[in-house]
């Protein structure tokens, strides 16, 4: 590494974040997570481990759930990124956001944005049909407060909502 030019190694990228194009100057080693939090001040996406082990940083990249701490921002040039801040439509909460409130599917709230984004991706994948399948496919998102049963109930409620559409 050329230490003397550490700050000069930036590249300009464009991300479509929550529907709006954002130009960013990022270092090659800046993660998508840090770009969102530190540069775009979208702090709804959380840093829990920075190693892809907890899921708190889950966002939707081109519609698929992804640990934003495991991708470098520069790899996502041109991508569509949806964060927790982009799920509600105005004052109307996303059905999953409402279901999380209804079922008390969180306590401290720190893993919550990742759980909700992961659940959006899960429902879109269409692979989970039973509570056991939801549990298995949500196991990348840790909740240390232990709200797991309520999270599963909230996802079931939102899945019902999707099907009812």
Partner 1 sequence: MTTHVGERVSRVDGRAKVTGKARYAAEHAAPDLVHGFVIGSAVARGTITRIDASQALALPGVLQVFTHENAPRLARGDKRWRDELAPPGSPFRPLQDAEIRWSGQPIALVVADSLELARHAASLVRVEVAPAPHETDLEAHRERAYKPPPHERPSVTPPSRGSADKAFARAPVRVQAEYRVPVEHHNPMEPFATTVVVDEDGTLTVYDKTQGVQNVQSYLTTIFGAEAGEIRVLAPFVGGAFGSGLRPQYQVVLAVLAARQLQRSVRVALTRQQMFTIGHRPTTWQRLSLAATRDGALAAAIHEAVAETSRFEDYSETVVDWTGLMYRCDNVRFAHEVVALDLFTPMDMRAPGAMWGVYALECAMDELAVALAVDPLELRLINYAEHDGNEKRPYSSKELRACYHQAAERFGWSQRDPEPRSMRDGDLLVGWGMATGAWESTQRKASARAVLTADGRLAVASATEDIGTGTYTAMTQIAADALGLPLERVTFKLGDSALASAPVEGGSFTVASVGSAVDAVCRELRSKLLKLAQQLEGSPLARLRPEDVEFIGGLLRARADPSRALTFAEVLHRAGIDHLADEVTTRPSKAHEKYSRYTHSAAFAEVKVDPELGTIRVTRVVTAIAGGRVINPKTAESQVIGSVVWGIGAALQEHSVIDHALGRFITHNLADYHVPVHADVPDIEVILVEERDEIVNALGAKGLGEIGVVAVAPAIANAVWHATGKRIRELPITLDKLL
Q: Does residue number 83 form part of the binding site for partner 1 (CB under 8 A)?
A: yes
Q: Does residue number 122 form part of the binding site for partner 1 (CB under 8 A)?
A: no
How far is residue 65 from each of residues 4, 37, 81, 119, measured CA to CA in Å?
A: 37, 17, 10, 8
**Shortest spacing between CB 51 and partner 1, in angstroms:** 6
Q: Does residue number 101 form part of the binding site for partner 1 (CB under 8 A)?
A: yes
Pick 27 or 157: Cβ nearer partner 1: 27
3-state SS assignment for residue 85 = helix
Q: Which tokens hold the place of 15? A: 């991300």
3-state SS assignment for residue 101 = helix
Closest CA to 67 of 136, 141, 6: 141
Q: Which of 70, 80, 93, 156 binds partner 1 (CB under 8 A)?
A: 93
**x-or-dash pattern for partner 1, window 29-68, by CB under 8 A?**
xx---x--xx--xxxxxxxxxxx-xx-x------------
CA 137 from centre of chain: 15
How far is residue 132 from each of residues 4, 58, 138, measured CA to CA in Å?
A: 53, 21, 10
* Residues forming the site for partner 1 (CB under 8 A): 1, 3-4, 6-7, 27, 29-30, 34, 37-38, 41-51, 53-54, 56, 83-85, 87-88, 93, 97-98, 100-102, 104, 106-113, 116, 134-136, 138-152
């Amino acid at each position: 590494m050329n230490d003397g030019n550490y700050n000069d190694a930036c590249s300009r990228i464009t991300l479509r974040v929550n529907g709006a194009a954002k130009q960013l100057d990022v270092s090659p080693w800046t993660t998508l997570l840090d770009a969102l939090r530190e540069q775009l001040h979208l702090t709804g996406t959380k840093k829990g481990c920075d190693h892809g082990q907890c899921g708190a940083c889950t966002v939707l990249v081109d519609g698929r759930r992804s640990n934003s701490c495991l991708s470098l921002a520069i790899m996502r040039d041109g991508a569509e990124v949806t964060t927790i801040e982009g799920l509600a439509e105005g004052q109307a909460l996303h059905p999953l956001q409402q279901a999380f409130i209804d079922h008390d599917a969180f306590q401290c709230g720190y893993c919550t944005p990742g759980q909700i984004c992961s659940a959006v991706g899960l429902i879109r994948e269409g692979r989970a049909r039973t509570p056991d399948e939801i549990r298995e496919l949500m196991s990348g998102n840790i909740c240390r407060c232990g709200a797991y049963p309520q999270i599963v109930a909230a996802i079931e409620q939102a899945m019902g909502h999707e099907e009812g559409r």
